[in-house]
């Protein structure tokens, strides 16, 4: 084979794996840029390493294919910090950074710090690449790691401050694309039949079983199997935030989101269950409200593609290692029992819990007050979301409101949410729109989240990536109000200083940048604003003025 330089090899390999966008901060692999352009890969230059990493994260979550991002050596630590969200959110990402050669390490080189430890904390796979002839080994492995097992980020640290040493080198390089690893899940392993039958027996015999569906259900594309299993055995289903779209909210067995960003009915149902079946869930602190729901002594079954997760947080009666879709299908093929005769009573009780919760929030969800209650904003947003839209939620109150107060009305609607880093929403929505250019992408965030990466809306405009950003604008970080007032002993100037922000006209700011800026002041105005935003041939910002007193209630506990 004729020699090829590292720049062309990188570009052709990315193209072969179906990469459509490269999210970057300059300067990284600059010699590859003409080749990427020639191959039709859009180069999306952002304003921060965290921003472009979040874009790759959003791209990966929506497409199932690795989102690829890059930054030069001085920005590597910023990118490592940003990959925390992709790591915690189980998102397939491949990150490229540059680094100075070894002879310049440990010698106070300009802007150089150790990259190894920061990336070890936030990636599944972290490797230094020292020459062009090493690229085929490590780049293919990065795609394997990102898409197999529990998806997650992989990192290649390329020699040269921008990877230039490696991209300029020539070697006998052959572009080989392993189609298995182009998208997650790469494999669909199944649990052994004895474990499957043991789990079925536990579920059939329990009086009050419940399913807690995690993000693995979504990654595996197992919504249909989840519903069939729930209906066959008449088991109520709670969905973690990462699985919100996987079970219809109006289904008689649906109970909503449990944990700390939760509906009271969901936490009540999980806490009252005598058996909890965690499906594709890490059983982490958020979905269990710091491991207090379910309570000690509750029998647990767990299904996960990663065997290390089985029993990590709760002792398990049965553990099954496998892909969710394949494993649930195997369970369905092996069901030869009828559920406990008390099941209809339990299902009816859970429906009553759900109905009581809806009744309890009816007034705020339909309030005509001005400024808007955030609950009413969520009601209006539920009603105006297009049937094939992707909703991207920031963390904090944005995560709570979307998790509890927004219901999807179509199986074609999708949802991705931040795994914890405030400000993720705007750039993640850009990545989501890049992955699904023909679908409406709506970011839901607060003014506190907007300030982190507002500048990336210029990135969206410059690259013709037309997202809609809906801002719950209450001029505050009011989720922090209670904490600060407890510390200060009340609503004092010192406590106010720690959570109140200046009132800002984000619509005017958007217009000044060349975006479409719209303001919503009254209930019912979001419908017209969303129509305008979705029909505009530009990114749009909808600034919704909301009530600073609109604070989400604490999660219900037994």
Model pLDDT, residue 106? 84
- 3-state class (DSSP) for residue 24: strand
CA angle, 217 as apex, 211 and 219 as ends, to 5°?
Answer: 165
Which pLDDT score is estimated for 144?
98
> Which pLDDT value is given to residue 105?
82
- Blockwise average pLDDT, block size 10, the chain, 558 residues: 91 98 97 98 98 98 98 97 97 97 83 92 97 96 98 97 92 95 97 98 97 98 98 97 96 97 97 98 96 96 97 97 98 94 94 98 98 98 97 96 95 95 97 98 98 98 98 97 96 96 98 98 98 97 98 93
pLDDT at 110: 80
Pairwise CA distance, residues 268 & 259, whole Å: 10
* Coil vs helix vs strand at 160: strand
SS3 category, 368 = coil
Instruction: Quick: pLDDT tens for 439-459.
Output: 999 999 999 999 999 999 999
Q: Cβ of 181: how many Cβ atoms within 10 Å?
A: 22
Name the percent of the chain in helix, strand, coil, to the closest 5.
45, 20, 40
Which structural domains are found in the chain, ordered by start? 4-181 (3.40.50.970), 193-352 (3.40.50.1220), 366-545 (3.40.50.970)
- Reported as a single tens digit per residue, the pLDDT across 202-222 is 999 999 999 999 999 999 999
What was the pLDDT predicted at 172? Answer: 92
pLDDT at 103: 82
**Stated pTM of the model:** 0.97
Q: What is the pLDDT of residue 160?
A: 95
Q: Residue 521: what pLDDT?
A: 98
């Amino acid at each position: 084979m004729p020699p090829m330089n590292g720049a062309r090899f990188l570009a052709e390999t990315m193209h072969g794996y179906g990469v459509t966008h490269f999210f970057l901060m300059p300067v990284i692999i600059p010699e590859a840029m003409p080749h990427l352009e020639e191959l039709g890969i859009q180069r999306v230059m952002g304003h921060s390493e965290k921003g472009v990493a979040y874009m790759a994260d959003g791209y990966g979550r929506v497409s199932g294919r690795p989102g690829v991002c890059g930054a030069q050596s001085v920005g590597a630590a910023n990118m490592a910090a940003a990959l925390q969200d992709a790591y915690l959110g189980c998102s397939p990402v491949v990150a490229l950074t540059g680094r100075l050669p070894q002879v310049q390490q440990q010698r106070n080189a300009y802007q150089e710090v150790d990259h190894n430890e920061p990336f070890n904390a936030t990636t599944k796979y972290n490797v230094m690449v020292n020459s062009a002839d090493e690229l085929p080994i490590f780049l293919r492995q990065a795609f394997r790691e990102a898409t197999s097992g529990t998806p997650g980020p992989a990192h290649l640290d390329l020699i040269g401050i921008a990877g230039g040493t490696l991209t300029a080198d020539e070697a006998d390089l052959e572009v080989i694309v392993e189609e298995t690893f182009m998208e997650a899940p790469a494999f669909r392993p199944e649990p052994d039949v004895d474990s499957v039958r043991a789990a079925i027996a536990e579920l059939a015999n329990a009086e009050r079983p419940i399913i807690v569906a995690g993000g693995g259900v979504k990654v595996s594309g197992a919504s249909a199997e989840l519903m069939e299993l729930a209906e066959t055995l008449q088991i109520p289903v709670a969905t973690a935030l990462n699985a919100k779209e996987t079970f219809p909210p109006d289904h008689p067995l649906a109970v909503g989101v449990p944990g700390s960003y939760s509906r009271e009915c969901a936490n009540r149902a999980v806490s009252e269950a005598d058996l909890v079946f965690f499906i594709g869930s890490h059983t982490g602190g958020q979905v269990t409200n710091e491991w207090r729901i379910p309570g000690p002594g509750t029998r647990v079954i767990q299904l996960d593609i990663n065997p290390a997760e089985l029993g990590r947080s709760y002792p398990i009666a049965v553990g099954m290692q496998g892909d969710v879709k394949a494993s649930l299908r195997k369970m369905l093929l092996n069901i030869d029992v009828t559920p406990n005769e008390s099941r209809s009573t339990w299902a009816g009780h859970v429906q009553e819990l759900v109905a009581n919760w809806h009744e309890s929030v009816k007034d705020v969800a339909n309030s005509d007050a001005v400024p808007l209650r955030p609950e009413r904003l969520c009601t209006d947003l539920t009603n105006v979301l297009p049937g094939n839209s992707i909703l991207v939620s920031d963390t904090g109150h944005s995560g709570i409101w979307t998790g509890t107060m927004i219901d999807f009305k179509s199986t074609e609607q999708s949802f991705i949410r931040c795994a914890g880093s405030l400000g993720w929403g705007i750039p993640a929505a850009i990545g989501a729109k890049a992955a699904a250019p023909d679908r409406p992408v709506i970011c839901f965030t607060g003014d506190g989240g907007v300030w982190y990466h507002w500048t990336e809306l210029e990135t969206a405009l410059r690259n013709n990536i037309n997202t809609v950003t809906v801002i719950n604008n209450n001029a505050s970080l009011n989720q922090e109000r209670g904490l600060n007032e407890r510390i200060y002993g009340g609503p004092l100037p010192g406590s106010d200083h720690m959570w109140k922000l200046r009132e800002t006209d984000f619509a005017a700011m958007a217009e000044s940048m060349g975006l479409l800026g719209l303001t919503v002041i009254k209930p019912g105005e979001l419908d017209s604003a969303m129509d305008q935003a979705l029909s505009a041939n530009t990114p749009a910002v909808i600034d919704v003025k909301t009530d600073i007193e609109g604070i989400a209630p604490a999660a219900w506990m037994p």
